[in-house]
Chain A
Amino acid sequence: MAETLLAVENLHTLFERQDDVIYAVNGVSFTVAAGETLGIVGESGSGKSVSVLSVLGLLRGSGRVTEGSAKFSGTELLRLKRRQLEDIRGRDIGFIFQDPMTSLNPTMRIGDQIMEGMLTHHYAGRRAAFKRTVDLLAEVGIPDPLSRFRNYPHEFSGGMRQRVMIAMAIACEPQLLIADEPTTALDVTVQMQVLSLLQSLRIKSRMGVVIITHDFGVATNFCDRIMVMYAGKVMESAPLEEFLQRPAHPYTIGLKSSIIEVGQTSRPLKPIPGTARPLTEPPRACPFVERCTFAQSACREQLPELRLVGQDHWVACLRAEEVMGHVG
């Protein structure tokens, strides 16, 4: 296995609100190796984004990390000073956000925005940064990069803006690229283009990539490893093949049977019954128990820990073996 880039362990993040506390992330652990693509899948509010934002110190408002560790190439990120984190963000770890329409500065030229990161991090001088920006624009597939350099964001379409965001994220050749729902705001046709661009960049530079998504299709098409989150906990984590062949968590199975596949008209969609539980208290039992068809009384009494059930296949379910057998 390649060397580990990012190792997150037992991460806890909570948001304090006026009258209550939201336990958004409750003990999440994962690793990303160089050249590997990790897909974090889960429904809205499952803590996918928050766990990654926590690691980079990008939490908004009252959010704070209460426990855990996040080592990036051996450096403990959670204990770094603001300045040191600012140095790492954008230089060693690139970040792509969901909505390219609102994430770019409308008062700055596209090219200046891409150059900005390189200049802040002293990655390159002004001339070199300019040259690299033009190359980057070409690399992410923007035609006529020299004249496009001088455009403003409002002159770009959504897909092109997302390409610009990608160019900004990879400008300093980061070792790790985190993409938070990179295609959610885009048209389906553009989604594929952006994802294949990410894929080719990853192969070229051997970056580690984390893709956060609620789109199962995106995850299964582009990731080496998939991690399913629910209620701020990791439910299942496995290499892609294993994950597709032998899903071991009832939630994963529920997710998979609730997607529409093209060409498959006969199979009825099976939505997961119920809604996600509110996160106003830390989970003491399996958080999925109310919606689970495999639930037993034991599931209501203890919090299932992640355990190994196959080749690098981790799952947090007491009845994982039965679930696997049931499907297989």
Chain B
Amino acid sequence: MAVASATTGLTLPSTRRSPLGAAWRRYRRNWLAVAGLVWVAMFVILGIIGPWVAPSNYATTNFLAANQGPTWQHIFGTDNLGHDMFSEILWSVQNALEIAFGATLVSFIVGVVLGLWAGLKGGTADMIVMRLVDFMFAFPTFFMDLILVTKFGRGMGPILFAIGITGWAGYARLIRSLVLGMRNGEMVEAARALGATQFHIMRRYLFPNVMNNMIVALAFGIPGDLTIMAGLSVVGMGLRPPLPSFGNMIAAAGGNVLGYPWLMYFPAGIFAVTLLAFLFVADGLQEALNPKGGF
């Protein structure tokens, strides 16, 4: 591995080999991951500045310019209500990112708390949490999302909450298994022999050692949550129009894809590339943080 090569020659190995630095070096070697990161970074910047640079508001319609192909004025064309598709996409980026990071973070936090608790406590606590996890895995979560969105409305908040609260089972199961594997391991035993308290062991030993795996799992979760969000739109339960989202645009374009194909090309293309970019980033993180293979 990289460590061995650092000790060649007579000079002492550099002391600047922080784990983050090493991870970044491994990450950089994967050009797809770097490309993905560039796209994600652009996406994030667009998400922040999109509403300001968009030529028009997402709700602005213009019936005199409906169903136009790409022109210099509307570079991505317009839809049947005369929405400028370029503006729609710029506004959608923000919503997509809020779901991508927000919902995933909600799942992550719920999963980590429950999984850590189950793994450390064991016994009844473990039993209850893991049966709950089994239930979440057995029950179609998309259906649960639909129920929740139907109940609480089709705004950003309810959708974020619904996707977040149904997606934690995988994180819980992963962190529980990692903690179980370590809880009785020699590292923890050695720490206990040094007089470390349980809280200290959790904070300085267990948590940092499971974080690599958890971050990778988090990164893989993001494209999944984006897909669920778009899926809700496709079945008609996504963000309520005129709020823009990639799912809404794709779903609307599906009806007359033969007549106005550009309405499908641009949103679907950008959305697909974004999903791929997130996957490449996750894959790169996997390689960078878990060089030995990980979960």
Contacts and interface: CB of A to CB of B under 8 A. Distances in A.
A85 to B, nearest CB: 8
Contact of B190 (A103, A106, A147): A103
Given A104-B187, A150-B15, 16 more contacts: A58-B189, A58-B193, A61-B184, A86-B192, A86-B197, A90-B195, A97-B186, A97-B193, A102-B186, A103-B189, A104-B190, A107-B208, A116-B196, A120-B195, A154-B3, A155-B6
A92 B195 CA distance: 10
Closest 5 pairs (CB-CB, A-B): A90-B195, A95-B193, A90-B194, A107-B208, A103-B190
A91 B197 CA distance: 13
Interface string B191-226: 111111100100011001100000000000000000
B185 A91 contact: no
9 contacts: A89-B194, A95-B193, A97-B189, A106-B209, A107-B208, A117-B194, A117-B195, A121-B195, A165-B190
A147 B16 CA distance: 10
A16 interface: no
Contacts, number: 82
A76 interface: no
Residue among B186, B194, B200 with max Cβ neighbours from chain A (10 Å) = B194
A19 interface: no
B288 to A, nearest CB: 15
A244 interface: no
A104 B17 CA distance: 18
B119 to A, nearest CB: 15
B17 A155 contact: yes
A257 interface: no
Contacts of A165: 190
Contacts of A97: 186, 189-190, 193
Interface in A303-325: none
A185 B196 CA distance: 24
A58 B192 contact: yes
Contact of A95 (B184, B185, B190, B197): B190
A184 interface: no
A151 B19 CA distance: 10
Interface residues of A, number: 37
Interface of B: 3, 6, 12-13, 15, 17, 19, 184-187, 189-197, 200, 204-205, 208-209
A7 to B, nearest CB: 20
B15 A151 contact: yes
A108 B204 contact: yes
Interface string A141-163: 00010011011101100000000
Contacts of A147: 12, 15
A155 B194 contact: no
Contacts of B15: 147-148, 150-151
Contacts of A221: none
Contacts of B189: 58, 60, 97, 103
A295 interface: no
A102 B196 contact: no
A87 interface: yes
A271 B135 CA distance: 56
A125 to B, nearest CB: 17
Contact of B186 (A90, A99, A144, A150): A99
A144 B6 CA distance: 16
Nearest to A99: B186
A56 interface: yes
A60 B184 contact: yes
A148 B14 CA distance: 10
Contacts of B193: 56, 58, 89-90, 95, 97
A150 B19 CA distance: 11
Contacts of B187: 102-105
Given A61-B184, A99-B186, A105 B204 contact: yes
A108 B196 CA distance: 15
Interface in A67-112: 83, 86-91, 95, 97-99, 102-108
A116 to B, nearest CB: 7
Contacts of A107: 19, 208-209
A211 to B, nearest CB: 15
B25 to A, nearest CB: 15
A211 B197 CA distance: 26
A99 B189 CA distance: 11
A100 B68 CA distance: 70
Given A58-B193, A90-B194, A102-B185, A144 B12 contact: yes
Contacts of A104: 187, 190
A79 B69 CA distance: 83
A168 interface: yes
Q: Which of B185, B192, B209 has the most CB of A within 10 A?
A: B192
Nearest to A95: B193
A312 to B, nearest CB: 30
B12 A89 contact: no
Contacts of B3: 154-155
Contacts of A90: 193-196
Nearest to B13: A155
B72 to A, nearest CB: 55
Contacts of A148: 15
Contacts of B191: 105
Contacts of A151: 13, 15, 17
Interface in A229-257: none
Contacts of B17: 151-152, 155
Contacts of A105: 187, 191, 204-205, 208-209
B204 A120 contact: no
